[in-house]
Amino acid sequence: MELRKNYFADVRKDDLHEIGQPRPRSDSPGHVTGKTAYFADRNFPGMLHLKMVRSPHHHARIRSIDTSEAERHPGVVRVLTAKDVPHNVYTILILIQIGPEDETVLADGKVRWKGEAVVAVLAETERAAQEAAAKVKVDYEVLPAVFDMEEALKPGAPLVNEYHGQNYYLYDSGECRKVRFGDVEAGFAGADHVLEQSYQSSPIEHAPTETTGCVVAPEGNDRFTCYTNTQAMFFTLDNASIILQMPGSKLHFVGGTVGGGFGGKVDVIVEPIAILGAKLTGRPVSFIYSREEEMQISSPRAAEKVVIKDGVMKDGRIVARKVTGYTDAGAYSRHSPYGAQKGAGHYPGPYTIPNVWIDTYCVYTNRTPSSAMRGFGVTIGDFALEVQMDKLARLIGMDPLEFRFINAYRDGDMKAHRQPTEGAALIECMQEASRAANWPVAEKYMAMSSYRKGA
C-alpha cells in the first residue's frame, strides 16, 4: 500500500498514526480456526425449525387458508397465520417517520409478489416443517400483475399496494423527489449540443455465502435472545418491538457477525416471526433461508431506469443537466423511498453544472421487494452518469478524462442542492488515476487543484 502525502500537504497536519499502517484484523483469528460464532452456530435443545409457505403468484387475492392438515402432520408444533401477528402491517422506515406502513409479516387477504410469506410452520425437524408446509392449502384468486415501472405509472395499471393508493411513493414533495437549480430549459437552448440517453439495470442479488436467518431462544422470563445476522441490529430490534407489540427490554439481540451482507441483510424479515414462534411455543426457534430463498426471496438491488439529458458546449462545459430516475421498489417500500431520494441527492454527479433539474421516482410493481445494496440509489446512477460523460466527450471530440477535469466540482462551487462544495478531491483523484493508468492529460489539468485558498 502506498500513502500519497503530497496532496493537500499544506492543509493537513501530518500526524497519522493508524492510516497507512498495516493492522491485523481482529476477527481473522476466529475465521481461520473456525471458531467465529455465526448465528447458525447456536444450537439449543428442543429447537424448532420454521419453514415458510410462500405465494406462487405475483399478485392474488387470498380466498381462504386451510392449515388443518399441516397442523396434524407429525412433528408440527405450531402453524402461524396473519391473525397471530400482533401488529402485522409494518414498514421498517417508520422508525424515522417514513410511512405509511405497507407490508405484512404474513399475507393478509392478498399477496403482491411471487414468494411473499403467507403461513409459517414450526416443527421438530426441518424435514417435518417442509412436509407440513406442502400440506397448507391456500385458495388464490389470481389478479393482473405489473412488472415494468413505466407500465405501473400509466393510468389504469393494476394497483400494486393499497396502502399507497398509487404505484409510486408519495413524498412530501409530491410524486417524486425534485431538485431545481438555475433554468435547465434556457441551458439546453443555449447549448452547442443536447444529448438525451436512457439507461436501465436489472435487479442484482447479493448472494452472501451465509443465508439470511436467526435463532431465537426464550430466556424463561418473557425475554427472548435473538441470534441474528442482521446488518441493522437496532433497526431490527425496534421494528420487532413494534410488530410483536413487546417492549424492547424484552428483546435481547446478539449479532454483528455476518457471513456476507452487502446490504442484503438490512430488512426486518426473519426475526419478528421467529421471535413470535418462540413466544407462542416456548421453544427455541431457528429460521434460516435456504439458498433458493436467499436468491429468490431476499431483497435484491432495485432495478433502475435513468434518463439523462445534457446540454454541452464545444469547449467542454456542461451547461444543463436534466435527470429522471426510476427505482423499482417491488411490491413494498422497505428502503426504496430512501434509495430513490438518495438518487436525487447524488445527481448530477460530482460536476459543477449551472442548470440542473432532477426528478426521482420510487415505483411499486409486483416484483420481489428491493432494498439496500452497496451504494443503492447511487451505484446505477453513477454507471449512467459516467457512460453519459464518455458519450458527451465523444460528441464534442474531447478526451474523456480532460472533459471531466473541465466539469469536476471543486471547493467553493455551489452544488445543485445549494450546498457549497467542500473537501472535494476529485481533481486529485483524476490526476493520480491519469498517472496510474498511463492516460496523460494536458499539463494545465495536472496543475489544477480542488482546494482553493479562501474558499
- Quick one: 289 or 364, whose CB is closer to another protein? 289
Q: At what angle do helices 270-281 and 233-244 cross, to 10 degrees?
A: 50
CB atoms within 10 A of CB 301: 27
- Quick one: 210 or 359, whose CB is closer to another protein? 210
| Residue among 263, 259, 252 nearest 299 (CA) | 263
Nine-digit cell string for 164:
399507497
For the CB of residue 122, give the shortest distance to another protein in the complex, in Å: 15
As a whole number of angstroms, the distance between CA 15 and CA 333 comes to 45
For the CB of residue 30, give the shortest distance to another protein in the complex, in Å: 7
For the CB of residue 67, give the shortest distance to another protein in the complex, in Å: 17
For the CB of residue 25, give the shortest distance to another protein in the complex, in Å: 7
For the CB of residue 53, give the shortest distance to another protein in the complex, in Å: 11
Q: Is-contact 190 183, C-beta < 8 A?
A: no
- Quick one: 31 or 61, whose CB is closer to another protein? 31
- Whole-angstrom CA distances from 176 to 201, 309, 348 are 20, 18, 16
Looking at residue 108, the DSSP 8-state letter turns out to be: -
For the CB of residue 27, give the shortest distance to another protein in the complex, in Å: 6
- Quick one: 27 or 141, whose CB is closer to another protein? 27
- Quick one: 47 or 414, whose CB is closer to another protein? 47
177 three-state secondary structure: strand
- Quick one: 30 or 165, whose CB is closer to another protein? 30
- Quick one: 209 or 249, whose CB is closer to another protein? 209
As a whole number of angstroms, the distance between CA 264 and CA 258 comes to 11
- Quick one: 37 or 189, whose CB is closer to another protein? 37
Q: Is-contact 326 381, C-beta < 8 A?
A: no
For the CB of residue 299, give the shortest distance to another protein in the complex, in Å: 16
Q: Is-contact 373 264, C-beta < 8 A?
A: yes
Q: How do 251-254 and 76-80 pair as beta strands?
A: unpaired
Looking at residue 174, the DSSP 8-state letter turns out to be: B
| Phi and psi, residue 280, nearest 5° | -80, -20
- Interface residues with another protein (CB under 8 A) are 24-25, 27-38, 40-41, 43, 51, 74, 125, 127, 130-131, 133-134, 206-211, 258-262, 290-292
As a whole number of angstroms, the distance between CA 440 and CA 18 comes to 33
For the CB of residue 34, give the shortest distance to another protein in the complex, in Å: 3
